[in-house]
Amino acid sequence: MQNLAKYIDQTLLSQDATEKEVISFCEQALEYNFYAVCVQPYRVSAANKVLKGSNIKIAAVVGFPCGSTFTEIKLKEAEKCIEAGAHEIDMVINVGAFKDGNIKFVKTEIKKMAELPAVLKVIIETGLLTDEEKILACKTAAEAGAGFVKTSTGFTKNSKPATIEDVKLMFDAVKGTGVKVKASGGIKDYETALSMINAGASRIGTSSGVIILNAGSETAGSGY
């Protein structure tokens, strides 16, 4: 696929990732020209040192991975990330509040986050939701002004790899709203990445971007 790199948020969210590793990771992102890198809040500054002035965006996770902290804390965390150089915020919804049926709270929180000067990706944590809940979460995020809905963090006990079925479900739920879908979780090879894009994903969150791109180049070279 042409321009596959422009679908990829190359991701490094390990708790033990050092600044040296983050810098090397961002230098690699420059080499492969990914759309964005996705890092922990504390590492936004290090990423910005490498990527400032380039066309590669910096995404920071907020309320990660549980999503159950106070809205005010999420807002302050996102603001600090933006001040440090983040262009995009990947925020986890409060799944417990959503499960309580407190949709108004969840929607208000997303709306406040969406008002910040950054693209907002709303992580709905598909492994914890029924199909009906996934649809409702996506529609709620769209109504609140999110830029993307995203499958999962990959960090919860019930996290599962992104599935084609979930991406299609989410894509259909936000169709016509201008909201896009980010597939994240267990996407480690070219074929899986391509299947997610074909299912409706506009962005792929993965720590295997280099592997995916290299495999894509080999496939293209083979005349596939």
Instruction: Assess whether 175 carries a catalytic annotation.
Output: no
Q: What is the DSSP letter of 149?
A: E
| Per annotation, catalytic residue among 9, 57, 74, 90 | 90
Which of the residues 74, 134, 180, 182 is marked catalytic? Answer: 182
Q: What one-character DSSP code corresponds to residue 129?
A: S
What's the first-to-final CA gap in the chain, in angstroms? 10
Annotation says 90 is catalytic:
yes
CA 5-11-14 angle, to 5 degrees, is 160
104 given a catalytic annotation: no
Catalytic-labelled residue, pool 107, 134, 150, 180: 150
222 half-sphere exposure, CB direction, 13 A CA radius: 7
Using CB atoms within 10 Å of the CB of residue 177, give its burial: 0 to 12 exposed, 13 to 18 middle, 19+ buried.
middle
Question: Catalytic site residues?
Answer: 90, 150, 182
